[in-house]
């Protein structure tokens, strides 16, 4: 048995999520200013584009005293057919941690099974745990605590799946409104409902936007066309037409509700400019918190 910890899913840190969020807050407040990862390196495998994840991991490693390597699909033999297992074993001899952003979640699992060093999911088609941690940090900052209801409107995608699991682990209420056939992953919802028996979280999945928004403190959405879904672009734009977060929907939630989006956003599709650039929007704080939450993750796994 390997004695290392990975974060491929929020459920991997079910019992440690509070500790990691506390660390993230400490990093943001400059309460941890040592260089705990001096001499350590992080390999970052990117099979998809990224602005926030790449930059926040790179800067995070630098600020913790370590080094990072950006390995894109055009750099690695992995994407010319070298097995994941060989890549995992070889990288484990050079570096102290591996972050991967890829399509198939199973590929991230295989990498973690074969690697001797911690593996971090920097987004797969199934989950985006690092985003959810930054989102929770943002909610604590803006709402004072996690005693809130999130309404997620749109595609039941990777971001949505990790939000559901985080809400379950932290005892928050979450209501997801998606068009039919775009519901979140069933296994994740079942897992979250099991966790919620202990934490008291209320998880609702619906196709009705108004039901989800009822008494919401947080309005969250993400793109209708995720990376890898481009072939379905036209169909998706049509299917999601009634799921745009606009001023009318925000007014149903009330003026104290905050608007969240993981970014990148497409103004005029899942959200209007008026909302994302308006006074209730906290999207830039969310993006900033990727740095602090990621430092917490790196410190927790690699120190
Ligand atoms: N939110 C997020 O993961 O952004 P990037 O795709 O820019 O990394
Ligand atoms: N759901 C989006 C998130 C991007 C950060 C995607 O997977 O493309």
Domains annotated on the chain, with CATH: 10-128+288-302 (3.40.50.1370), 131-286 (3.40.50.1370)
Question: Given the DSSP bridges, would you call strands 173-177 and 149-153 parallel, antiparallel or unpaired?
Answer: parallel
Q: What is the pLDDT of residue 254?
A: 83
Q: CA nearest 223: which of 264, 177, 193?
A: 264
**1 CA to centre of ligand 1 in angstroms:** 33
Q: What is the pLDDT of residue 276?
A: 98
Count the residues in the chain.
303
Predicted confidence (pLDDT) per residue in 23-68, tens digit: 999 999 999 888 999 999 999 999 999 999 999 999 999 999 999 9
Q: pTM of the predicted model, to two decimals?
A: 0.98
Q: CA nearest 128: which of 83, 164, 92?
A: 164
Which bin fits 263, alpha (ψ -120 to 50), beta or left (φ > 0)?
Answer: left
59: its two tokens: 């800067």
Place of tokens 């985003």: 131
Residue 52 known to be catalytic: no
Q: CA nearest 259: which of 154, 178, 117, 189?
A: 154
Q: What is the pLDDT of residue 33?
A: 81
Q: What is the pLDDT of residue 177?
A: 98
Q: What is the pLDDT of residue 1?
A: 56
Q: What is the pLDDT of residue 75?
A: 87
Residue 101 known to be catalytic: yes
- The low-confidence residues of the chain, meaning pLDDT below 70, are 1
Ligand 2 mutation target, pool 262, 263, 287, most atoms within 8 A of CB: 262
Q: What is the pLDDT of residue 100?
A: 98
> Which ligand has an atom closest to residue 293 CA?
1
Which bin fits 69, alpha (ψ -120 to 50), beta or left (φ > 0)?
Answer: beta
Q: Rounded to an integer, what distance in angstroms lies between the CA atom of residue 154 and that of residue 98?
A: 31
């Amino acid at each position: 048995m390997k004695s290392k910890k990975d974060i491929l899913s929020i459920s991997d840190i079910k019992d440690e999520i509070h500790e990691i969020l506390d660390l993230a807050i400490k990093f943001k407040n400059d309460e941890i200013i040592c260089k705990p990862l001096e001499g350590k390196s992080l390999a970052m495998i990117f099979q998809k584009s990224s602005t926030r994840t790449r930059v926040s991991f790179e800067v995070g490693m630098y600020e913790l005293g370590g080094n990072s390597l950006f390995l894109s699909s055009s750099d690695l033999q992995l994407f010319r057919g070298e097995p994941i297992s060989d890549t995992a074993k070889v990288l484990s001899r050079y570096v102290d941690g591996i972050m991967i952003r890829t399509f198939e979640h199973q590929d991230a699992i295989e990498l973690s099974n074969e690697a001797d060093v911690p593996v971090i999911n920097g987004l797969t088609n199934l989950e985006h745990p690092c985003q959810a941690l930054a989102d929770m940090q943002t909610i604590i900052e803006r709402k004072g605590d996690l005693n809130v209801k999130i309404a997620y409107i749109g595609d039941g995608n990777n971001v949505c799946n990790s939000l559901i699991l985080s809400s379950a682990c932290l005892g928050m209420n979450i209501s997801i409104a998606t068009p039919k056939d775009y519901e979140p992953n069933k296994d994740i919802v079942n897992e979250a409902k099991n966790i919620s028996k202990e934490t008291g979280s209320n998880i609702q999945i619906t196709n009705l936007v108004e039901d989800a928004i009822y008494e919401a403190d947080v309005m969250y959405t993400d793109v209708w066309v995720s990376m890898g879904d481009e072939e379905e672009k036209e169909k998706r734009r049509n299917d999601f037409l009634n799921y745009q977060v606009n001023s009318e929907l925000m007014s149903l939630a009330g003026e104290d509700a905050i608007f969240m989006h993981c970014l990148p956003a497409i103004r005029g599709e899942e959200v209007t400019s008026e909302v994302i650039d308006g006074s209730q929007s906290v999207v830039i704080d969310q993006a900033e918190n990727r740095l602090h939450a990621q430092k917490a993750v790196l410190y927790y796994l690699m120190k």
